[in-house]
Amino acid sequence: MVRPSLALAAGVELKVVQAMLGHASIVLTADTYTSVLPQVAREAAECTASLVLRDAGRIRRQGGVGPVGGA
């Protein structure tokens, strides 16, 4: 038996879990299994924030323009 919630928590891509379960739509997989894993959502947000901050620092070091809106 596939444990999709555990697979997602372990970092398996949603598309892979969809294929493992045989779901025709990734929406079904996402709606069913990702809402029960707040830690997965938190980790995704943290990773995204880290990438944004890293890229912002790189752009500033290269003399690029700051964020949109003049902040």
φ, ψ (nearest 5 deg) of residue 68:
-60, 140
pLDDT tens for residues 42-71? 888 898 999 999 888 777 777 766 555 554
d(CA 44, CA 4): 17
pLDDT, greater one: 37 or 23: 23
pLDDT at 10: 86
Residue 20's pLDDT is: 94
pLDDT of residue 41: 76
| Residues 30 and 8 sit within 8 Å (Cβ to Cβ) | no
Task: Quickly tell me which residue has 């003049």 as its tokens.
Answer: 70
pLDDT at 1: 47
Condensed to tens digits (0 to 9), the pLDDT of residues 9-33 reads 888 999 999 999 999 999 999 998 8
